Chains A and B, each alone.
Chain A
Amino acid sequence: MTTVENMISKYREPLENSPLDLVVDWKDKHPGKKVVGCYPVYTPVELIHAAGMLPVGVIGAGNRLEIAHADSRFQSFICSIVKSTLELGLTDRLKFLDGIVFHSICDPARNLGSVFTRNFPELLVEYIHFPQNMTSPHTIDYLIAEYERLNVSYERLAGNKITDEGLNRSIALYNTQRRLLRELYAIRKAAPQNLSTLECYVLTRIGTLLPPEEHISILEEAIPELRKRNAKPKDRVRVVLEGSFCEQPPIELLEGLEAAGCYILDDDFLIGWRWFSEDISTSGDPLRNIANAYLNQSVYSGVKHDTREPKSKHLIDKYKETGASAVLILAAKFCEPALFDYALYKRALEKEGIPHLCLEFEEKMWIFDKARTEVETFVESMLFD
């Protein structure tokens, strides 16, 4: 088996069953090391890493965990990831974590942070307020202060000082990881027949669970191998996918979408782990560089409201730049930011005459027939119209 095939067969199952077990294994082998969970979307992981801890993605619990307690805390109209993440905590599955961080992405995630603080007093719960004023010259100072505050907190948790050199090393490391992920995505965009979305997703998702060095070496082996693939493209509709920036769709659904006749050229899965369109600078003040990258080098997203340019323009640019022929909106059920974005996307796409399909998913979903049929119908209308 090739590296890629190996990786997929090694990781697919744990990712579907209980992704955080990978971290538990790692922690067992590294006694004394601390781990900080990162709720979606974006976390400045360099801060945690430079303190000598491992940042990992706590991104819901997929469709294999029964929700038995969390649904009495969060109502039926709240998205699945909020409930499944709480369920993980209430069933003692997050005991391996030393800290967890939430961000100002939406009101449910924010209240979840408070609920964690109350229910898990042994856990260091942090909350980052990311700025939503992207035009004021004063914003950067605010964000640097926010990162300084976190540094103090993480130094205390880790029992280590965070130095500028250490931060710059962490930035360089994560730059490499993000650059390799950009390369991975570029391969699929250029020739999606050579890299399925399933493979692309698994190769990305493990990066949220393994130490970055390990992920980097996997990607460094996988990418040259993928470049050698030379499959024949099938007759499929090429789409860009948008709306899954937080809660993640089940892997079976991703397979189903492609099998229904699409090639996904680009998507926003796990976007917080691929947050920058270019490297963060490693010269000068590292916190300023990380803050500046957030304000000026980060990708657009449903949780960042940048008045400088409408999100729909970014989406349409992406559509044009990838050469897609349609847009697929895949939004988590009850996800307020994704569902609001859709209204503006729809308007802009219709104005441009770009075909699109909007689907809702839940991480806990089991049955994919309906989604698949909708995509098939859409694909047929595209191919035979």
Chain B
Amino acid sequence: MAQTAEALKTSYQGQMHLLQKDMMGRYFERVTRAAEKGEGKAVYMLISGNPVELIQAFDLIPVYPEIDALQLAVKKSALPFIQKAEELGYSMDNCAYVKADVGLFLGDRKTPFATIPLPALILCNYVGCNVYLQWFEHLAEYCDGHLYNLDIPFLREASGEPSPEDITYVVRQLEEVIEICERLTGKKLDYARLKDIVRRSSETGEMWSRIKGLTKNMPSPFDAYFDSVTMMAPLYCLRGTEEGVRFFETALAEMEEKVRMGTGPLPKERFRFIIEGPPPWPYLRTFRDLFSKWGAVAVASTYSTVGGLWEFGFRHDADHPLESIARHMLQWNVTNRNFLQRYQQLRRYVEEWHADALVIHSVKSCRLFSAGQGDMREYFTKELNVPTLLIESDIEDPRYFSEAQLKNRIDAFFESLEHKKILRSGSDTGGAA
């Protein structure tokens, strides 16, 4: 039976969270200094399969409009920006991440967490999402900025691998990006330094992957959706730095400790689920509580593999830095993999992470994720017999979140799951149901 939300509210605040707050605070200070004092140059990039290593190698500041949009949503201040963009001609039906960011970009770029600098380079790492191309095309037009489309061929072969030509094409483009950064900074690329950074990315990948493996434990030491989010920002903004490595060491140690203690994010883990799709940032807490009250913990999520997919073995390779950056962008993130590869990723999660169910959170803004999720549900329910729940809201736009509706659907789903569990445990012990 569901317990009251209050009784089960997660109140975990470990070392890792404090460190994260501190590090991200410093990152945003750096971003703000670039905007307000002209210290350093900002390179705009996108999260999916980002090549942050290159940007770090030039001491340029990676700025991710997606993180800005996300922060605005979390801080419940996205709507006025979205509406401003709609007044300018953006449609109700366009991705609200873009709208929030455009609204912000065309104003004074001041937010509760940072002031966002104008870009010295708009590097559109086109990894999976087609909206990215237009998003950065628009920003470039608004500020008359320097735009480079770093084109990443989508995984489209039956093998699920990039072709040798795909890899060459991306490496050649990375070399062009290096030239642009050299012109921008007036510095030659320090290749040894790039290798160090890539080595640190590889260490980070190793630790992150181990952290994600820990949720195979019962109970899971953390929630692979709601808590992973804390680790994702350092993964994108600080990957390849000493600080980033330290953060992941701390996080790993903390999570291992939790496994030893047998503690998890909830007092009692009653259901383990896999979740597909981005979170509803404006109502993250509310959304989480809808699951927590059922003792339901997400043990794996596709969203946490947007920036990179490490848990299936990929590591950056310091001996081949550009090629490994290319492979990361082409193959080792969920967004550049085709939709059926995502089915298989989820299937592995269900099987290897021992989940009871799959929850598909279908968000209107992000069609990269959502388009066709009804077919995914069909596959999991009909072909694999995995209990699957499909619910809809949005990643950014608070107008598309209906708590009552979500609550009904989630309650009904877990009720029936619980019922099945009781039946099963009844038959397991030989008792009559």
A65 is an interface residue with CB less than 8 A from chain B = no
Of B89, B151, B154, B166, which is within 8 A of A346 by CB? B89
Of B90, B126, B168, B368, which is within 8 A of A343 by CB? B90
Which residues of A in the span 329-380 have a Cβ within 8 Å of any Cβ on B?
333-334, 336-337, 339-344, 346-347, 358
B367 is an interface residue with CB less than 8 A from chain A = yes
**C-alpha spacing A169/B371, complex, angstroms:** 39
B370 is an interface residue with CB less than 8 A from chain A = yes
Which residues of A in the span 103-129 have a Cβ within 8 Å of any Cβ on B?
104-108, 110-115, 117-119, 126-129
A305 is an interface residue with CB less than 8 A from chain B = yes
- In the complex, identify which listed stretch (B131-139, B237-245, B257-265) lies at the interface while the others stay far away: B131-139
A340 touches B134 (CB 8 A): yes
A75 touches B392 (CB 8 A): yes
B interface footprint on A141-185 (CB within 8 Å = 1, 0 otherwise): 110011001000000000000000000000000000000000000
**C-alpha spacing A104/B152, complex, angstroms:** 11
> Contacts of A82 on B, CB cut-off 8 Å?
371
Count of B residues near A, CB < 8 Å? Answer: 55
Least CB distance, B60 to chain A, in whole angstroms: 20
B95 touches A73 (CB 8 A): no
> Contacts of B168 on A, CB cut-off 8 Å?
138, 141-142
A133 is an interface residue with CB less than 8 A from chain B = yes
**C-alpha spacing A58/B147, complex, angstroms:** 34
B163 touches A149 (CB 8 A): yes
Which residues of B in the span 102-139 have a Cβ within 8 Å of any Cβ on A?
102, 126, 129-131, 133-135, 137-138
A139 is an interface residue with CB less than 8 A from chain B = yes
A200 is an interface residue with CB less than 8 A from chain B = no
**C-alpha spacing A30/B203, complex, angstroms:** 61
A75 touches B134 (CB 8 A): no
B93 touches A334 (CB 8 A): yes
> Contacts of A74 on B, CB cut-off 8 Å?
371-372, 374-375
> Contacts of B94 on A, CB cut-off 8 Å?
336, 339-340, 343
B4 is an interface residue with CB less than 8 A from chain A = no
Of B88, B153, B338, B371, which is within 8 A of A78 by CB? B371
A132 is an interface residue with CB less than 8 A from chain B = yes
> Contacts of A115 on B, CB cut-off 8 Å?
339, 372, 375
Of all chain B residues, the one with the shortest Cβ separation from A71 is B374
Least CB distance, A43 to chain B, in whole angstroms: 14
A133 touches B149 (CB 8 A): yes
**C-alpha spacing A52/B191, complex, angstroms:** 51
B89 touches A343 (CB 8 A): yes
Of B156, B165, B338, B340, which is within 8 A of A145 by CB? B165
**C-alpha spacing A75/B88, complex, angstroms:** 27
**C-alpha spacing A133/B166, complex, angstroms:** 13
Interface residues on A, range: 35 or more
**C-alpha spacing A73/B381, complex, angstroms:** 13
B403 is an interface residue with CB less than 8 A from chain A = no
- In the complex, identify which listed stretch (B17-25, B169-177, B320-328) lies at the interface while the others stay far away: B169-177
B interface footprint on A77-111 (CB within 8 Å = 1, 0 otherwise): 11000100000000000000000000011111011
Of A142, A149, A343, which is within 8 A of B138 by CB? A343
**C-alpha spacing A142/B170, complex, angstroms:** 9
> Contacts of A342 on B, CB cut-off 8 Å?
89, 91
**C-alpha spacing A341/B135, complex, angstroms:** 10
A310 is an interface residue with CB less than 8 A from chain B = yes
A interface footprint on B323-345 (CB within 8 Å = 1, 0 otherwise): 00000000000000011100100
B378 is an interface residue with CB less than 8 A from chain A = yes
> Contacts of B134 on A, CB cut-off 8 Å?
305, 336-337, 340-341
A131 is an interface residue with CB less than 8 A from chain B = yes
Of A132, A336, A339, A344, which is within 8 A of B151 by CB? A132
> Contacts of B340 on A, CB cut-off 8 Å?
114, 117-118
**C-alpha spacing A118/B340, complex, angstroms:** 8
Least CB distance, B30 to chain A, in whole angstroms: 28
B362 is an interface residue with CB less than 8 A from chain A = yes
A307 is an interface residue with CB less than 8 A from chain B = yes
Of A112, A146, A339, A358, which is within 8 A of B371 by CB? A112
A339 touches B368 (CB 8 A): no
B361 is an interface residue with CB less than 8 A from chain A = no
Least CB distance, A66 to chain B, in whole angstroms: 17
A72 is an interface residue with CB less than 8 A from chain B = yes
Least CB distance, A374 to chain B, in whole angstroms: 16
B372 touches A108 (CB 8 A): yes
**C-alpha spacing A173/B375, complex, angstroms:** 39
B150 is an interface residue with CB less than 8 A from chain A = yes
**C-alpha spacing A139/B148, complex, angstroms:** 13
A141 touches B169 (CB 8 A): yes
Do A305 and B131 contact each other (CB < 8 Å), given the known contacts A111-B371, A132-B149, A336-B367?
A: no
**C-alpha spacing A319/B340, complex, angstroms:** 43
**C-alpha spacing A157/B149, complex, angstroms:** 34
A347 touches B372 (CB 8 A): no
B298 is an interface residue with CB less than 8 A from chain A = no
> Contacts of A71 on B, CB cut-off 8 Å?
374
Of all chain A residues, the one with the shortest Cβ separation from B158 is A117
Of A107, A118, A141, which is within 8 A of B165 by CB? A141
> Contacts of A141 on B, CB cut-off 8 Å?
165, 168-169
> Contacts of A142 on B, CB cut-off 8 Å?
153, 165-166, 168-169
B379 is an interface residue with CB less than 8 A from chain A = yes
> Contacts of B172 on A, CB cut-off 8 Å?
136, 138
Which residues of A in the span 244-289 have a Cβ within 8 Å of any Cβ on B?
none
Provide a sorted-by-A list of 9 A–B residue pairs whose CB atoms are within 8 angstroms. Answer: A74-B375, A78-B372, A111-B339, A111-B368, A112-B371, A115-B375, A129-B153, A129-B156, A336-B130
Q: A112-B372, A336-B367 given. 5 additional CB < 8 A pairs?
A: A73-B374, A107-B367, A136-B176, A340-B90, A346-B88
